[in-house]
Amino acid sequence: MGRQILDDIDDFEEDYEENAFNIYTSFFIKKYGTGKKVFKSKKLREELASLAVKYLEDSLSAIGADIESGWSRYVLFYLNEAKKIRKS
């Protein structure tokens, strides 16, 4: 779920134009209503990045701390990406 949130933060404009489901767009509409065209919101990006961090940390806990595991490296990579977005 955390990885999908990060993906949707990046491509929400394209998904919005194609009327495709997107987590960012869904949260945006809940927050701002349907009367506005979806735009980049720093606050919403930070909120969703925090949610992604939570999901990715939960995933890492479920996998275990074995850094040699391919899944652990995968999750750690996206966890670091989510933390960067959250700080920006």
How many domains, the chain? 1
The pTM of this model reads: 0.88
Mean local confidence (pLDDT), 8-32: 94
Determine the Cα–Cα distance for residues 58 and 49; give it in Å rounded to an integer.
14
The tens digit of pLDDT for each residue in 33-74 reads 887 788 999 999 999 999 999 999 999 998 876 667 788 889
Provide the domain limits for residue 32: 2-87
pLDDT recorded at residue 64: 78
Instruction: Give whole-number Cα distances, 51 to 3, 29, 43, 59, 66, in Å.
Output: 10, 17, 13, 12, 23
